Chain A
Amino acid sequence: MLQTPIADAAQICLRVRGLTVAYAEEPALQGISLDIPRHQVTAFIGPSGCGKTTLLRSFNRMNELIEDARTEGVIELEGCNIFQAGVDPAQLRRQVGMVFQRPNPFPKSIYDNVAYGLRIQSSSSRAANLDQEVESALRRAALWDEVADRLDAPALTLSGGQQQRLVIARAIAVKPAVLLLDEPASALDPISTLKIEQLIHQLKSNYTIIIVTHNMQQAARVSDFTAFLNAGRLVEYGPAEAVFTNPKERQTEDYITGRRG
């Protein structure tokens, strides 16, 4: 079943067709087909274990790191199938950044964390340029003001919320096309969460953002489009407002209104 709320094909950033993922013969996703619009925020919601994180990790082929994961189907990034033979996962991931549930800064300085991806991409280190890019990434992640005077401090000395924004800065420093956020605020306090949500709003103009969240209010607040997954299937997908105010499916409504999940 293909659900697409996007009329204009030119607006599509990611196109998913018949995606099935199984872990050790245990299906996690079954026949997912959907389109993700460019420069919008798309949220995946659903009960635990519904496959939303698996779907998210399919976009940058992170599932391959799991021992016995098996993937079928097609995902096209800007028209190019990411599963096709010539595609290199490392190069794909450079275009599809990802932020994880728990902040995972590297045990390095703040500066080195942000510069990490940049250094990998460019063989020769252009120091001046690097400084600029780090600053710009930190600014875009709304962290610059807080850390400008201690770029050499270990990243682990930052607070949880700052760490998560650092990780976002790290991800956007390499200028990806897509940013995947896997419950980016679930380990944070309400104030930090708010900051992250504001950040998502700001970033949306430059990046296609996909966010997985448990938190219905958050999904309603930040997303333009929302997909509801249940038991490995895509139940409903549409503009966020429509999904939250007027769900078409009974399952969606049950979940949103808290009757189950």
Chain B
Amino acid sequence: MRASLNIATLPRRRRWIDFLTRAVMALGAAAVAAVIVLMLAFLVQVAAPLFLPAAIAPSTELSLPAGHAKLLRVHPSGDAALRVDADGRISIFALSDGAQLQSRWLDATVVAAKPVFLANDLHAVLDSAQQLWLLQTVQRGGARRPSPELNILFGGRPIPVGAVIDYDLAQQADGTLKLALLSPTALQVRRLPAPFTTVAPSGGAQSHTLEDGAERVLFGPGGRWLFTLGGTGATVWSIAPRVGLQPFANTPLPGALPLHSATPLLGRQSLLIAGDGGVAQWSLSRAGGRPHLALVRTFPLAAAPRTMVAERQRKGFVVLDETHNLHLGHATSGRILAHRKGTVGMDAALALSPQADLLLALEPSGKLHRIPLLNAHPEVSWATLFSKVQYESYEEPAHIWQSAAAHTDFEPKFSLAPLLFGTLKAAFYAMLFAAPVAVMGAIYTACFMAPGMRRWVKPTIEMMAALPTVVLGFLAGLWLAPLIEANLAATAALFLLVPGGMLLFAGLWRRLGENFRKRCEGWQGLLAVAPMVGLAAAAIHLAPTIESAWFGGDLKAWLFAVHGIDYEQRNALVVGLAMGVAVIPLIFAIAEDAIHAVPPHLADASLALGATRWQTVTRVILLTASPGIFSALMIGLGRAVGETMIVLMATGNTPITDFSIFQGMRTLAANIAVELPESEVGGTHYRLLYLTALLLFAMTFAFNTAGDLVRERLRMRFGSL
């Protein structure tokens, strides 16, 4: 009969399609899982290098002609260096092989040589004949084979300066030069014409006698200040054109005198001064009215520092101590980042490449050490991110986020505290408004609302969630913020009068006929609109009267005058309301589902025991649904923490740490939106923004997971009920 039923072989095509479908679907699922893993991994991968420890790599050596270098400086191109020797030889050599590219001799031996402050490629060399030579290295040879060339300015003629202990030069914005000369008895400032133009210097020479004597003179920030070091300490001088050369307070420099070594940090707000126990950072401070140098922090070292060199684009530095050890430090983060034991002779001249990724050490024997520095992000440490930091020209340590400024030599301030604070503040005020409204609304909708009304209320509030945040933010910033500012009293009255009035209304309601009340049961949500509108109208109407009766006619002015509360137009109140509107539907939907899912037999049992409906709601239903409500709040919080557009548009985005409801804030998310497009890829700022993204990710992940876990448990509980 039907002996041979074919049950074995499925046609190959069908089998293949079946297999392929399965594989493709699995691939899709795996891709979804991969997305989140990839996202997390990528954020971590970008942010992680911030925390790589810095290192001083082993050196490679080259042999150069012997000579005692007075100045060693890497050319901005990074492939050649300028060397000024004590015997008067000036040379430029290639960093790759040490080949001499150019060289010339001065007629006299060199006493000192230093770069000109605020100038590009200018160097001042003092010879034993008391003459100053201005050297320039110019890039020649086009873009293909660049080679620096040596020029002596002012027609190759030196400037006679007389007997000086020390000198310094700074270039002004107009190109002219200021020359400070320190002699044993006096400090003198001279003006020199701009090297390449015909701009003549303004003002003549100024001079001031020195009573205590000094060893070093240095121009301060912008070339508008002078520092003298030595004698009895450090003195700050002003060189304002009208006042003339005036000394301010003298600060003793304990442990640093007689002076070993002093190096200005980038921007010259701070000086690094070597002392017995290490290096100290002294900063120009205006605290107390008189500008002076104040001790900011110290970097203790085991051996006395010998030579120091500062980075050219960051506030970092390298110290060579008397035991031949190298130390790599960073001023703002207050750390010595790396050490390397004795490879370099004590008398070596040091130089850093412009990017500070290569340290040169040239010993008198002619031995040149090329030492790579692995130090991409010295500014960032857990302490600088989260603790108060003493920044230059600030009176006290502070939490500050300031990632960029107009000038290049500013000190980046990377404290995440104001951003975290702002994020939590915005979320707090949003939840303050959203949580009660959403949860109460959910309770009413789930427990009391007539089914006919519930059917359209739920989708309506769902629709609220669909409102684009950019529209909410725009309304908050351009409509609500000015409205509230103009009607602050009315706003305050609304918040007080409407809930209070509703209670009063409920009291009156009880006096209405039983029948009528029964008929309205379940529709109070809609009915409540009428008294609310009435109360709101009353509040707005009464506000000017109240304002003029108790607050002198202007609540804002009164707040400021009596309580010192400042009012910013785009403030936490506006953000709280706008973000509240964004968060309410989310919390409402989850909370309502949770409350509605409570099995009715629980409520029935309670009602059967004689409890009123409200008692049943609070003691049975809400208690049972509380994990669901908690989960709703958590998920709402997660949303509030990560919301970007509303905060961006409804606040002034100033990173302050003021909890006042009338002040703005800057949140992590808004900060990313503002700053990421402008940050340099791979830079510290860029990676830091990724770190903040990671932080935000972690925060929302925590809130969401907490919410999910609780909800899962709730589901299991109801499953068993």
Contacts and interface: CB of A to CB of B under 8 A. Distances in A.
Asked whether the complex places CB atoms of A and B closer than 8 A, the reply is yes
B13 A87 contact: no
A194 B478 CA distance: 75
Contact of B14 (A90, A95, A177): A90
B8 A177 contact: no
Interface residues of B, number: 15
B15 A88 contact: yes
B499 to A, nearest CB: 51
Contacts of A38: 1
Contacts of B15: 88
A79 interface: yes
B304 to A, nearest CB: 76
Contact of A95 (B1, B3, B5, B18): B5
A94 B15 CA distance: 15
B6 interface: yes
Chain A contact patch, size range: 10 to 19
A222 interface: no
Contacts of A79: 3
Contacts of A94: 7
A179 interface: no
A77 B3 CA distance: 9
A123 interface: yes
B8 A91 contact: yes
A86 B13 contact: no
A77 B7 contact: yes
B197 interface: no
A135 to B, nearest CB: 24
A84 to B, nearest CB: 8
Interface string A76-110: 01111010001110111011000000000000000
Contact of B2 (A78, A82, A92, A123): A78
B1 A87 contact: no
A77 B5 contact: yes
Contacts of A87: 7-8
Contacts of A95: 5-7
B13 A91 contact: no
Nearest to A88: B10
Given A88-B15, A90-B14, A177 B5 contact: yes
A86 B6 CA distance: 11
Nearest to B6: A91
Nearest to B15: A88
Nearest to A81: B7
B514 to A, nearest CB: 47
B2 A91 contact: no
B198 interface: no
B612 interface: no
Contacts of A88: 7-10, 15
Contact of A177 (B2, B9, B18): B2
Q: Considering residues B5, B14, B15, B18, which has the most beta carbons from chain A within 10 angstroms of its beta carbon?
A: B5
A78 B9 contact: no
A56 to B, nearest CB: 17
B16 to A, nearest CB: 13
Interface in A167-185: 177
A14 B6 CA distance: 15
B581 to A, nearest CB: 40
Nearest to A82: B7
Contacts of B5: 77-78, 80, 95, 177
B496 to A, nearest CB: 57
Contacts of A80: 5, 7-8
A11 B324 CA distance: 103
Interface in B1-54: 1-11, 13-15, 18
Contacts of A10: 1
A86 B10 contact: no
Contacts of B8: 80, 86-88, 91
A80 B5 CA distance: 8
Nearest to B10: A88
A177 B14 CA distance: 22
Contacts of B2: 78, 177
A95 B2 CA distance: 11
B1 A91 contact: no
Contacts of A177: 2, 5
Nearest to B13: A123
Contacts of B6: 91, 95
Nearest to A80: B7
A92 B7 contact: yes
B10 A78 contact: no
Contact of B3 (A78, A86, A123): A78
A92 B8 CA distance: 7
A90 B19 CA distance: 13
Nearest to A90: B10
Contacts of B1: 10, 38
B687 to A, nearest CB: 47
Interface string A228-245: 000000000000000000
Nearest to A10: B1
Interface string B71-105: 00000000000000000000000000000000000
Interface in A108-142: 123
Interface of A: 10, 38, 77-80, 82, 86-88, 90-92, 94-95, 123, 177
Given A78-B3, A80-B5, A88-B10, 18 more contacts: A38-B1, A77-B7, A78-B2, A78-B4, A78-B5, A82-B7, A87-B8, A88-B15, A90-B10, A90-B14, A90-B18, A91-B6, A91-B7, A91-B10, A92-B7, A94-B7, A95-B6, A123-B13
19 contacts: A38-B1, A77-B5, A78-B2, A78-B4, A78-B5, A79-B3, A80-B5, A86-B8, A88-B7, A88-B9, A90-B14, A90-B18, A91-B6, A91-B8, A91-B10, A95-B6, A123-B11, A177-B2, A177-B5
Across the A-B interface, give the 4 residue pairs with the lowest CB-CB distance, nearest first: A88-B10, A92-B7, A86-B8, A78-B5
